[in-house]
Structure 1
């Protein structure tokens, strides 16, 4: 189902394919038939994440199918989401690597390629990442096949990047497989904190699948395995642990369990005080600003815009990666819109778009936000028109 159709058309098609009346689907999802009618007629062009998850479960699809995630990438030579998916689902994974008879690259030679790939991901350059990633996976697989311990870190992170890219392009099932491969590969290494962060990636994938309770439980279980002693533990341990606690907080917020989410945030805040400045370990970020980022996110999801904006004021933009800041701006824009500060919401959303137009158009939250802003305006201004056009083919 192509992302260029409206949310209402996608929803109606899915409902009719399953033979449900509007009332039957509303009952299955635990939502009002009036809401479903408004959505299908495109009178209302967005809904909350919680409602989308309920509808997705009732229709037996991933939430991304309803959201209309786009698989298309920027036109970079060799870039294709299907090529990344095929690298993940390669049948040769069942046996010996097809190139096992040639000399593998050294881990020290592959690591700069991995760093470049993460730079592309956090820079919102998904086309560049898709072009580079299949070769990186193949080279890392060859090294891992000949020396599992030496090859484990590079290959585990290559699988992790594949999972992240596949989520953004609407292939959540393949992303879950890639995340599982990352975990299993990391077990061949000797760094338990790296392994813990990969459980965090799996939790994040489940979050996008609408499996919120499972996402929370996995993050909490993994965090308990590496729970630090705040006075003695190395900072990278606290980063890995703190990232997992924030994953659990986001999942709880998505389930509208505000009390539990706030408890996780209090725990994470204590850890952030311990590390002091924000850190990036194993490509996981944690510290005071990142707790504030996720607090903004959660309070926006809980429809508490004043608290979201208060948390947003505590964020230091300079310690965030490019797309981390872009996603934070989307939450800030949403909170501003909820406070009926529409012009400011447009300005902040436009800033998020300018950070990476390619990344922006792959964000279901951005599409929903843009639709809600457009509903408030009788005429599309230049910046708002640009936002709307980002989701048109």
Structure 2
């Protein structure tokens, strides 16, 4: 059931490859020997970034070496979106803003309109449809940045490029292609730098922080936090209009996550409070906000950061009760993340594991393409399946396991 494709088994292989004893690795990673043993045996999920970072540093490997990269299953819903990745990779790797390798493009206004449709697909987590459109848009936008008809057209093309690359970042990251996600973020930054507009730079900085490589170094998350702090400081004087406030708000949330991953819980709480103050300046309408930044979304991030900080299942449930889930209707990306984080948190406590399964199934129903490709959810499902005692819970978990490629 819990074989070499799972995180715990992979971690055990890496530990033995380094010739480290369980007690030594646990000590260097800041966790107990019992906890690490339970992870290796599939009794507990390795779902906290702080632990993953500590283990990667101690083993001198990247975090991807521990958690794994993209995985493909026989399930077409899970595997289908991966078909767009080669074309997207080619568009991002072979073009530049002044030297496109695509030789023709549709009118710029048509590409901008298509980006609006693509954003709707991203919010709904319709990655199959999104992947069918986005690579061509990225390709063709390079034609317009290299050969603009005038200065206004160049500005429009560059802003569209920022938006396209931000979307590419999310698609690649959510499918497990961390290297491609970071490349897309760098392409967004290159376009934003040409514009010299603080809000556009803030958008690019947000995805750059999210996709910074996490290598076997204890300073990886510290660099993410530093980058987020600098981005927030640069944008803060210019965050006047709603979009600027929303972009700044998302940067503060990434700062909070980075602090939590470093086990700096007071700093994480401070950044969350700052995000809440920013959210009070804009309407609480996740459906129309940039990256859904709003008071509701801050509540969603509080849940996720609570899970990262090691809160108990019951504590996560209390945080979840403060979120008005009805405001997330129509925002599949945020709603699915919220439900998945609640489920992962609930899975930690024996008394809330059955409820955890229900939350994870709800997340899968809201956004199947995203959730079936989520490595942290996959790990939680694998561990819950190992722990399952009731036949009903076992049936639900076996179904999710089959769709996510978890041995069952």
TM-score normalised over the length of structure 2: 0.83
Please say if residues 207 and 215 of structure 1, whose CA atoms lie closer than 8 Å, have aligned partners that are also in contact: no
Please say if residues 159 and 181 of structure 1, whose CA atoms lie closer than 8 Å, have aligned partners that are also in contact: yes
2:7 corresponds in structure 1 to: 7
Q: Cα offset for 1:4? A: 7.7
| Aligned equivalent of 1:310, options 286, 301, 318 | 318
User: Does residue 213 of the first structure (1) align with residue 226 of the second (2)?
Assistant: no
Q: Cα offset for 1:350? A: 0.9
CA distance 1:347–1:27, shift in 2 (3 Å): closer
Q: Cα offset for 1:76? A: 5.1
User: Does residue 336 of the first structure (1) align with residue 352 of the second (2)?
Assistant: no
User: Does residue 347 of the first structure (1) align with residue 358 of the second (2)?
Assistant: yes
Distance 2:338 2:221 in 1: 20
Distance 2:84 2:245 in 1: 36
1:197 corresponds in structure 2 to: 203
1:116 corresponds in structure 2 to: 117
User: Does residue 53 of the first structure (1) align with residue 62 of the second (2)?
Assistant: no
Please say if residues 312 and 332 of structure 1, whose CA atoms lie closer than 8 Å, have aligned partners that are also in contact: yes
Please say if residues 50 and 260 of structure 2, whose CA atoms lie closer than 8 Å, have aligned partners that are also in contact: no
Q: Which has the higher contact order (CA 8 A, sep 6+)?
A: 2
Please say if residues 149 and 190 of structure 1, whose CA atoms lie closer than 8 Å, have aligned partners that are also in contact: no
Secondary structure of the 1:275 match is coil
Q: Kindly report which structure 2 residues correspond to 1:22-171, keeping only aligned pairs within 5 A, or say none.
A: 25-26=25-26, 29-32=29-32, 35-42=35-42, 44=44, 46-72=46-72, 74=77, 79-90=83-94, 92-93=95-96, 96-100=99-103, 102=104, 104-147=105-148, 148-171=154-177
Please give the per-residue CA displacement for 1:84-142, whole angstroms capped at 9, x wherever unaligned: 2232222x539722345x4x433311012212222222222223322322211111111
CA distance 1:371–1:21, shift in 2 (3 Å): same
CA distance 1:40–1:315, shift in 2 (3 Å): closer
CA distance 1:95–1:273, shift in 2 (3 Å): closer
Between stretches 16-25 and 174-183, larger displacement belongs to 16-25
TM-score normalised over the length of structure 1: 0.86
Between stretches 117-126 and 6-15, larger displacement belongs to 6-15
Secondary structure of the 2:322 match is coil
Please say if residues 88 and 162 of structure 1, whose CA atoms lie closer than 8 Å, have aligned partners that are also in contact: no
Q: Cα offset for 1:206? A: 2.3
Distance 1:78 1:15 in 2: 31
Please say if residues 344 and 380 of structure 2, whose CA atoms lie closer than 8 Å, have aligned partners that are also in contact: yes
Gapped regions of structure 1 (runs ≥ 5): none
Q: Cα offset for 1:23? A: 6.0
CA distance 1:299–1:204, shift in 2 (3 Å): same
User: Does residue 324 of the first structure (1) align with residue 334 of the second (2)?
Assistant: yes
Gapped regions of structure 2 (runs ≥ 5): 149-153
CA distance 1:187–1:281, shift in 2 (3 Å): farther
Secondary structure of the 2:99 match is coil
Q: Cα offset for 1:370? A: 1.7
User: Does residue 383 of the first structure (1) align with residue 407 of the second (2)?
Assistant: no
Please say if residues 163 and 179 of structure 1, whose CA atoms lie closer than 8 Å, have aligned partners that are also in contact: yes
User: Does residue 244 of the first structure (1) align with residue 251 of the second (2)?
Assistant: yes
Alignment RMSD, CA only? 3.0
1:255 corresponds in structure 2 to: 262
Please say if residues 4 and 10 of structure 2, whose CA atoms lie closer than 8 Å, have aligned partners that are also in contact: no
Q: Kindly report which structure 2 residues correspond to 1:282-301, keeping only aligned pairs within 5 A, or say none.
A: 283-301=290-308
CA distance 1:364–1:19, shift in 2 (3 Å): same
Say how many residue pairs are matched. 386
Between stretches 22-31 and 209-218, larger displacement belongs to 22-31
Secondary structure of the 1:89 match is helix
Distance 1:86 1:252 in 2: 34
Q: Cα offset for 1:277? A: 2.0
Please say if residues 243 and 290 of structure 2, whose CA atoms lie closer than 8 Å, have aligned partners that are also in contact: no
